[in-house]
Amino acid sequence: MTLPSPDRRATDWLAAFDAALQAGDPGRAAALFDADGYWRDLVAFTWNIRTQEGRGAIGEMLAAQLPAVKPSGFRLDGAATEAGGVVEAWFVFETAACRGRGHLRLKATPEGDRAWTLLTTMVELKGFEEKTGTRRIKGAEHGVHPGRKTWAERRAEEAATLGITEQPYVVIIGGGQGGIMLAARLRRLGVPTLVIEKNARAGDSWRRRYKSLCLHDPVWYDHLPYLPFPDDWPVFSPKDKIGDWLEMYTRVMEINYWSSTTAKQARFDEARGEWAVTVERDGREIVLRPKQLVFALGVSGYPNVPALPGAESFEGDQHHSSRHPGPEAYRGKKAVVLGSNNSAHDICAALWEHGADVTMIQRSSTHIAPSDSLMELALGGLYSEQAVQAGIDHHTADLVFASVPYRIMHSFHIPVYEEMKRRDADLYARLEQAGFLLDFGDDGSGLFMKYLRRGSGYYIDVGASELVANGSIKLRSRVGIERVNPRSVTLTDGSELPADLLVYATGYGSMNQFLADLVSPEVADRVGKVWGLGSGTTKDPGPWEGELRNMWKPTQQPQLWIHGGNMHQSRHYSQFLSLQLKARYEGLPTPVYGQAPVHHLR
C-alpha cells in the first residue's frame, strides 16, 4: 500500500495531536506516540529541560501540565521529508505563555503513524518579545526634547548605577563565552543583568591559555547569538582571535560587565527571596542583591593537580595545562606531560615543534577522532559550508541536534565511528603499535557521547597523533607518576624519566566545586553533581537522568542556575535559560515539571 505524502502524514498527525491536547485528553495524545516514543521539551511545556520516555511518562506530564500550558495551533512549518521509513517535519505551535517551534519524527506502525521523537521548544514569550524587526526601537528622538540624553549618556548612567544604586535582577558569575552569550540574550529581553569576571578583559580566559590553542570545533558550530562570525572567519579559530571577538561582542551587545572583579561569597536570603553576593572591585567590597544567580564558569571546576610525593623538590618548571605559557622556553629541554587528552596532545605537539624532547604519560585509554573525519562524518551534515548551502544554518542545525533524545543518541553516533575506524585504520594501527591505548567509548559511540557523559577522554586529532605514532612524541602508557624527583620522575613501573618540565594535563573537577567555595558545601550538595547523563558508563554513574545534570534548568537550590558548555551549547541553551529568567522577572507562572532529584553529591 502506498502511503500518503510526507506533508499529509505530518499534517494529519499534528492535527490529531492538537485536537487531543485541546480536548484536555492526555491519554489520547500519548497514544499518538510509538510505545518507545520520546518527547523532549525545552521549557515550552515543562518550564524545564526534560525528556519524557514512553507513552506513560508522556501522559503523566500532560496530565500535570495541560491545564496551565493550554497548547494549540500545531501546524506544519515548511515541507516534510521522508527517508528510511521515517518522516521528519518542522512545526510551530502556541501555549498560553509562548510561541514555540518543534521537530517531529514519524514512523508507520500497525496502529497508524506514531511519533518516534518529538521536540518542543520555547521561542518567545507572548507580550515580552525581543525588540526586533517591526518592534525595533527608533534610537533617535525626533523633535525638541529639553534635557534629552544621548545614547552614550544613558549607557554611562546605567554603568554607574547598576550594582551600586540599582540592583540587577540577574548576576552572572563568569564572564567567559557562556556568561557573555546569556547576558546578551537577557539584554535583548530587557532583564537587568550584571556579569562578574575576575580577568581584566573579556576574552582573557582564552588569551591566557597555551600559545598554540585553537578551537577544535569548526566555525559553523561556534557562532555567538545575534552576531555570527564573518564569512571569511577561519574554520578553526585561534584563541586570541576568539578572545578579541568576545571582547568586541561584550561592547557592541551593551553587556554590563564588571571585569577585574572577584566573587568572594554568595548567600541566599530566604526571607527576602534574593541573593547577597559579595564581590571585590577596585579594592572595595560590594554586596549585590540579585533575585537570580547564575554560575557560568565553564564546563568544569578547578584544575586537577595530582598531589605527587616529592613534587615540592622538583627543580624544573611544573604547572597545570591551564597555566602552560607556551613552548618557547623549553627548546632542548626534557618535557614530561601527564595526560593524553586534547590539552596534552596540543602541548606535546607544540613542545616538539620547538625542539623539546617530549614524553607523554598515558594512564588510561583515549578516544582519537581525526579532525577531517570528524568534520565530514559527524558534523558535516549540520555544521559545514555544505550544510549552509543546503539551507541548514546553525539555528536549524541546533534544533536538529537537540531533537535526538539522549537515550538513543549513541545509536546515531555508533555508525559514524565505525566508519571512522575504517577510514583511519592505518593511523589507529600505528598508534596501537606505538603502545597508545585507544577506545571509542564504552559502547563505541565516540567523541560527543564521551563529552556529554564525562566531559573528558578524547583528542580531536589535528596532527599530534602522527607524532605519537611515529615516535616523535615519546609515549609511556599504562603507567602513572609515582614520585617526583629534583630532575626526574619515577613511574609506577619503577622506571625513571629525566625532566626539566612537568605539565599536568590532568583535567578539571566538577563545576559545583565553585558552589561549595562561593556559597557553601551544603548548597553544593543540595544541587548535586553537575554534568553527565547517568548512563552508567565510565565516569558517568547512574541512575539514568535523561538530560545533562543541572544544566540550564532549575536546580534544587531556588534561584540558582548553572550555565556552560562548549560554544554550541552556550549559544543554543542560553536561549532557553534566558526565557526562564525573563518569565520569572515578569512574574509569570512557571510551574516546573519533573525537577531532577539529586543522586550524586560533589
The pLDDT of residue 556 is above 80: yes
Residue 496: predicted pLDDT? 97
Rg, Å, the chain Cα set: 26
In single-letter form, the type of residue at position 439 comes to: D
CA-CA distance, 183 to 179, in Å (whole number)?
6
Residue 289: predicted pLDDT? 98
CA-CA distance, 112 to 97, in Å (whole number)?
32
- Decide if 126 contacts 98 (C-beta within 8 A): yes
What b-and-e string marks burial along 190-199, b requiring 16 or more CB atoms within 10 Å of the CB? ebbbbbbbbb
Stretch 403-426: mean pLDDT: 98
Position 577 confidence tier, pLDDT thresholds 50, 70, 90: very high
Residue 485: predicted pLDDT? 98
Residue 1: predicted pLDDT? 55
Position 533 confidence tier, pLDDT thresholds 50, 70, 90: very high
CA-CA distance, 382 to 401, in Å (whole number)?
8
Q: Where are the domains of the chain?
A: 6-125, 152-301+511-521+556-586, 305-508
The pLDDT of residue 142 is above 80: no
CATH 3.40.50.1370 fits 305-508, yes or no: no
Query: CB under 8 Å to 357, separation ≥6 — which residues?
Result: 332, 333, 334, 335, 474
Which alpha helices (H) appear in 151-220, and where do they start and end?
151-161, 177-188, 204-207
Stretch 417-441: mean pLDDT: 98
The pLDDT of residue 147 is above 90: no
In single-letter form, the type of residue at position 374 comes to: L
Class (C level, CATH) for 152-301+511-521+556-586: alpha beta
Residue 197: predicted pLDDT? 97
Residue 146: predicted pLDDT? 83
Instruction: State whether residue 5 is helix, strand or coil.
Output: coil
In single-letter form, the type of residue at position 475 comes to: L
Residue 452: predicted pLDDT? 96
Position 183 confidence tier, pLDDT thresholds 50, 70, 90: very high
Residue 204: predicted pLDDT? 93
The pLDDT of residue 373 is above 70: yes
Stretch 224-247: mean pLDDT: 96
Q: Is 289 exposed, middle or buried (0-12, 13-18, 19+ CB in 10 A)?
A: middle
Position 141 confidence tier, pLDDT thresholds 50, 70, 90: confident
Segment (H or E) for 76? strand 72-76
Instruction: State whether residue 490 is helix, strand or coil.
Output: strand
The pLDDT of residue 110 is above 90: yes
DSSP string computed for 93-153: EE-SSEEEEEEEEEEEETTEEEEEEEEEEEEEETT---S-GGG----S--S--TT---HHH
Stretch 282-299: mean pLDDT: 93
CA-CA distance, 161 to 273, in Å (whole number)?
22
- Record the cell numbers describing residue 323, joined without a space: 597555566
CA-CA distance, 120 to 38, in Å (whole number)?
11
Stretch 140-149: mean pLDDT: 77
Q: What percent of the chain has pLDDT over 90?
A: 91
- Phi and psi at residue 315, to the nearest 5°: -95, -10
Beta bridge partners of 286: 279
Position 2 confidence tier, pLDDT thresholds 50, 70, 90: confident
The pLDDT of residue 28 is above 60: yes
Highest mean pLDDT (candidates 133-137, 150-154, 474-478) = 474-478
- Record the cell numbers describing residue 436, joined without a space: 597508545
Position 36 confidence tier, pLDDT thresholds 50, 70, 90: very high
CA-CA distance, 514 to 524, in Å (whole number)?
8
CA-CA distance, 93 to 398, in Å (whole number)?
19
List pLDDT tens digits, range 491-508. Answer: 999 999 999 999 999 988
Stretch 335-345: mean pLDDT: 96
In single-letter form, the type of residue at position 321 comes to: S
CA-CA distance, 566 to 242, in Å (whole number)?
13
Q: What is the CATH number of domain 6-125?
A: 3.10.450.50
Q: What share of the chain is helix, strand, coil (3-state, %, to 5)?
A: 35, 25, 40
Please state which of the ranges 148-152, 412-416, 423-427 shows the lowest mean pLDDT: 148-152
Stretch 390-399: mean pLDDT: 96
Strands of 193-196's sheet, edge to edge?
Answer: 257-258, 193-196, 170-173, 292-295, 560-562
Q: How many CB atoms lie within 10 A of CB 148?
A: 10
More confident residue, 298 or 465: 465
State yes or no: cis peptide before 543, omega within 30 of 0: yes
CA-CA distance, 164 to 270, in Å (whole number)?
22
The pLDDT of residue 421 is above 80: yes
Round the average pLDDT of the chain to a whole number and report it: 95
Stretch 569-577: mean pLDDT: 98
Residue 511: predicted pLDDT? 79
Stretch 28-50: mean pLDDT: 98
Residue 557: predicted pLDDT? 97
CA-CA distance, 448 to 452, in Å (whole number)?
6
Q: Do domains 152-301+511-521+556-586 and 305-508 have the same CATH topology?
A: yes
The pLDDT of residue 543 is above 90: yes
- Decide if 243 contacts 203 (C-beta within 8 A): yes
- Phi and psi at residue 347, to the nearest 5°: -70, -40
What b-and-e string marks burial along 306-337, b requiring 16 or more CB atoms within 10 Å of the CB? eebeebeebebbbebbbebeebeebeebbbbb
